[in-house]
Amino acid sequence: MLKALLLRFVDICLLRAGPQDLPVSMFLFWLSMIAYLVSGYLVVSIVGSFVNSINEVLVDAALQVLGLRLLLRFTRHEERFVQTTAATLGTGAILQLIALPLNQWAVATSVDGQAEALPVFLVLAMMVWSVLVFGHILRHALDVKFIQGVGAALAFLFVTILLVNMVVPDGAA
């Protein structure tokens, strides 16, 4: 059963399935949340302190959940919250785990704050893929065109980064 769910998340990452293809399950919601928190911590902790990394991941996850709740409520699609959030967090966890060695490579090859071009390019490609996947999820959740979903994903990402940086400053313990 877990293998089938993991494959469904992979299909969403490959834009072959949508959040509606996941079961409406609070268990899956929380499993996705835990996977997102753990994978997010692993990525953020490469360059951050323990406390700062924990805070950043918790704030990011809270903003994801709150933002999706508000967006789906505003667009009158509240019934899609559990599936949409599980899809967002689950695919986010997968993409973060794929990006983890790329981020480590970029940091390890960095000299005087300048990383090599290839790992930076690959990290950037992962970020683009992540936005496309989130846009794909939002397209299905909001019943809009793909480009509108991607636009919403970019706006969502921008606001999330802005708020995380306001709440968890770089110099925090």
Q: What is the pLDDT of residues 107-161, one digit of tens each?
A: 888 877 777 889 889 999 999 999 999 999 999 999 999 999 999 999 999 999 9
pLDDT at residue 173, as a whole number: 38
Residue range 66-75: mean pLDDT, rounded? 97
Q: Which of 144, 165, 155 is nearest to 44 (CA)?
A: 165
pLDDT at residue 109, as a whole number: 87
pLDDT at residue 50, as a whole number: 87
Tokens 């293809």 belong to residue? 21
pLDDT at residue 150, as a whole number: 98
Neighbours of 27 (CB within 10 A): 9
Write out the two tokens for 124.
């950037």
pLDDT at residue 136, as a whole number: 99
Find the length of the chain.
Answer: 173
Proportion of the chain above pLDDT 70, given as a percent? 97
CA distance 8 to 21: 8
Which residues fall within 8 angstroms of residue 116, CB to CB, at 6 or more apart? 106, 109, 110
Identify each DSSP E strand in the chain by its residue range. none
pLDDT at residue 112, as a whole number: 76
Residue range 71-89: mean pLDDT, rounded? 98
Is a pLDDT exceeding 80 seen at residue 55? yes
**CA terminus-to-terminus distance, the chain:** 41
